Amino acid sequence: MQWQDQAIILGVKRHGETSVIAEVMTRERGRHLGLVRSGRSRTMQPVLQPGNEVEVIWRARLDEHLGEFRIEPLKLRAGRLMETATAVYGVQAMGALLRLLPERDPHPHLFEALEVILDHLHNPVDAGELFVRFELAVLNDLGFGLDLTECAATGARTDLAYVSPKSGRAVSRGAGEPWADKMLILPAFLSVQKNTAADFESLTAAFRLTGFFLHRHVYEPRGLEASAAREGFVQAALKALNPARGTLSRPDELSA
């Protein structure tokens, strides 16, 4: 068995004295593991860093085997990804999100989104917006997608201001106002009717929105906690937007 694909390094684990098991996100075959012989060599260590883009050739006798990777570098981002807190935490947090998906399950749109976000992690505003959209895409692929296109109560597609914590559907300002204290805020930059950039308040609301549904539908049922990297990314992104403001302490929690 053999195939060739474009991939992004998510992480590595030591295997024996000189080799590693590399975890990559491929364009066509999803998240995949493979043995890299001499992966701890001086030549390969700089290549096998999270965020780097590579070409992989996978070989195994049977499809269900771990198999071996032969890896060639395409785009080495790792050095730049060490320059800002949003980048350091962001690449780890996205790797943790992708591990929620079954191994070898194709998600080409997530690969493409990952490529884009990795090139914008140094900019906290862009990184925050893109990361939230990435979390929404992962939720959708896990079967828990949110419907933010129209009001769950009236069918209206304008003035959407809230998200129901029960249904995960958008609610218009008028329909949701009587229960506003029980609703999640729908940030303007996520509304299909608006084209606005995120600010501190809207990005805080967005992190709370995705964190809430990830906790309810994914982490809690599986007995997991959100990755520490996500918390680090959230705090770094919000601090960069407004250093004088407090940061979000529990993005998975809905305030009463």
SS (H, E, C) 31-94: EEEEEECCCCCCCCCCCCCCCCEEEEEEECCCCCCCCEEEEEEEECCHHHHCCCHHHHHHHHHH
Least confident of 9-23, 131-145, 195-209: 195-209
248 against 254, higher pLDDT = 248
Band the pLDDT of 248: cuts 50, 70, 90: low
Q: Is residue 132 a contact partner of residue 206, using CB atoms and an 8 Å limit?
A: yes
On the CB side of 143, how many CA atoms lie within 13 Å of its CA?
A: 5
168 touches 177 (CB < 8 A): no
- Position 256 pLDDT exceeds 90: no
pTM reported for the whole predicted model: 0.93
Instruction: Give the contacts of 137 (CB within 8 A, at least 6 positions apart).
Output: 109, 110, 113
CA 177 – CA 211 distance, rounded (Å): 23
Query: What percent of the chain has a predicted confidence (pLDDT) above 70?
Result: 94
Q: What is the pLDDT of residues 107-129, one digit of tens each?
A: 999 999 999 999 999 988 899 99
Residues 34-71 have pLDDT tens digits of 999 999 999 999 999 999 999 999 999 999 999 999 99
Q: Which residues contact 205 (CB under 8 A, 6 or more apart)?
A: 184, 185, 186, 187
Q: What is the mean pLDDT of residues 193-208?
A: 88
Q: What tens digit of pLDDT does each residue of 153-176 get?
A: 999 999 999 999 999 999 999 999
Fold of 2-76: OB fold (Dihydrolipoamide Acetyltransferase, E2P) (2.40.50)
In this predicted structure, the answer to whether residue 245 has a pLDDT above a threshold of 90 is no
Q: What's at 253, amino acid-wise?
A: E
In order of 34, 52, 171, 174, the CA distances from 95 in angstroms are 16, 12, 32, 39
Q: Is the pLDDT of residue 255 over 70?
A: no
Residue 243: pLDDT band by 50, 70, 90 thresholds?
confident
Backbone angles phi, psi at 122, to 5 degrees: -75, -20
Q: Where are the domains of the chain?
A: 2-76, 81-148+186-241
Strand pairing of 53-59 and 160-163? unpaired
